[in-house]
Chains A and B, each alone.
Chain A
Amino acid sequence: MKPNDVILHTVTKLASVIIFAFSIHLFMAGHHQPGGGFIGGLTTTAGIILLFLAFDIETIRKNLPIDYKMLAALGVLISVLTGVGGLVLGEAFLEQMFDYIDVPLFGNVELATAVLFDIGVAFAVIGTSVSIILSISEDDL
């Protein structure tokens, strides 16, 4: 008999959007408030794991075609390249800089290169944790 989990699917469709929005908020708030790349990546991982729990692996792989090992490697590459970028401009390794730029529709925004490093950290955390959980859960069926 096929189990019927309509309630779980409906709640997941609603809650995963909220979890992803909250993870983006945590990622963006990391410069002035609690948050950052690590916890933002872990919260995104929680949303992806909720999708994997409610639906099955094949469906999520078809609708969210991400190779998580490649994502982890891409994150480490981005983090290293931001360090090398400071080296190219004649500063020290991992030297970071920021500037205040007038962006239309947002006003005066502080743009820092530390966000690029944080993007790399978040990608590495997402790729590592999701691939660990998937490789644990896969071999028993």
Chain B
Amino acid sequence: MFDTLMILSLTILTVAILLNLFRLVRGPSNADRVQALDAIGINLISGIAIFSVFLHTHAFFELILLIGILSFIGTIAFARFIERGYAIERKR
């Protein structure tokens, strides 16, 4: 019963990732694509959490925080690139 519920929620997360992928491909502006990438990262985090409960292991818990950090940094880099045209500036 519980395994069925977890597989159902993984399926729903897959559908959410696919809808985000549609926004990633069809997004009119670049900001839409960056937002879709950020949402895909968050969906991946929850998918990994459910999958580690499904496998009865806690070996993937570091991965959750790691994907959160990398998604945050990537979104900030893309946002600065869209706003100003460069990511790292030499002198403020």
A17 at the A/B interface (Cβ < 8 Å)?
no
Write out, one digit per residue, whether chain B residues 56-87 have a CB within 8 A of any chain A CB (1) or not (0).
00011011011001101100110010011011
Interface residues of A (CB under 8 A from B): 3, 8, 15, 19, 22, 26, 29, 33-35, 39, 43, 46, 49-50, 52-59, 133-134, 137-138, 140-141
Interface of A is mostly: helix
Partner pick for A19 among B69, B77, B87, B90, CB 8 A cutoff:
B69
Given known pairs A19-B69, A22-B69, A26-B62, the reply for A53 and B90 (CB within 8 Å) is no
B73 adjacent to A53 (CB under 8 Å)? yes
B62 adjacent to A57 (CB under 8 Å)? no
A39: B residues at CB distance < 8 A: 66
A133: B residues at CB distance < 8 A: 88
A53 adjacent to B80 (CB under 8 Å)? yes
CA distance A135 to B23 in the complex (A): 33
CA distance A112 to B92 in the complex (A): 45
CA distance A90 to B7 in the complex (A): 56
A53 adjacent to B76 (CB under 8 Å)? yes
A59 adjacent to B69 (CB under 8 Å)? no
The 6 closest A-B pairs by CB, nearest first: A137-B88, A56-B92, A56-B89, A141-B90, A52-B88, A58-B91
